[in-house]
Amino acid sequence: MEFTTADHARIAAAIHAAEKRTSGEIVCVLAQQSSDYGHVPALWSALFALATPWPLLALTALSAQRIFLVQIAVFVVLGLVLTLTRLRMRLVPRAVKRARAHRAALEQFVTRGLTRTPARNGILIYVSLAEHYVRILADDGIAGHAGQHEWQNAVDALVAHIAQNRVADGFIAAIDLCADVLARHYPPTPGANALPDRIYLV
């Protein structure tokens, strides 16, 4: 997926326009993936390598030394093959991918300064493409007024656009819908825009 300079500019403009309607803050983050899952190739390779000797012992007359060499070869070859991102991601359980993506979203929430807004009314729109994960995180102030269900229209719009490979358009639609929620509870005030109007690619 290519994200162009024009896409950056369009999203920045959408955030700027949205924040004119509210004193809330909107930050967008797009991640290719939330974790490298570096342990996955080693784990699966080790499991297959450990299972390798049993059929060889039962079905062949190979010596213990040759079986050991086959076991090493299985571990090395499988480890190299599974380092390919697509294969690696297929072997990670869905629950693990969601947990890693959620943790990454929380880290971005803190890193991008959303916990430091005076009214605690910032939101993070987070997308992780490899995990097929979309989440809107709201700080304590706005979360006290708007439940997670109020952000669902924005999530649905973003997911629908991503499915059509229109990621930038999805962010713009979500930003506009999130601004509707923020504006209901936090009308605009002078000098409220404290965070950069941009999307972060990680």
pLDDT digits (tens, 9 = 90+) for 80-97: 777 776 777 777 788 888
45: exposed, middle or buried (Cβ count in 10 Å: 0-12, 13-18, 19+): buried
Whole-number pLDDT of residue 57: 80
pLDDT at 103 over 90: yes
Q: What is the mean pLDDT of residues 42-60?
A: 82
The pTM is what?
0.80
In this prediction, residue 38 carries a pLDDT of 67
pLDDT 10s digits, 52-77: 888 888 888 888 888 888 888 888 88
The model's confidence at residue 44, banded by pLDDT at 50, 70 and 90, is confident
Domain architecture of the chain: domains with CATH: 5-36+93-201 (3.10.310.50), 39-91 (no CATH)
- Burial readout 77-95 (b: 16 or more C-beta within 10 A, e: otherwise): ebbeebeeeeebbeebeee
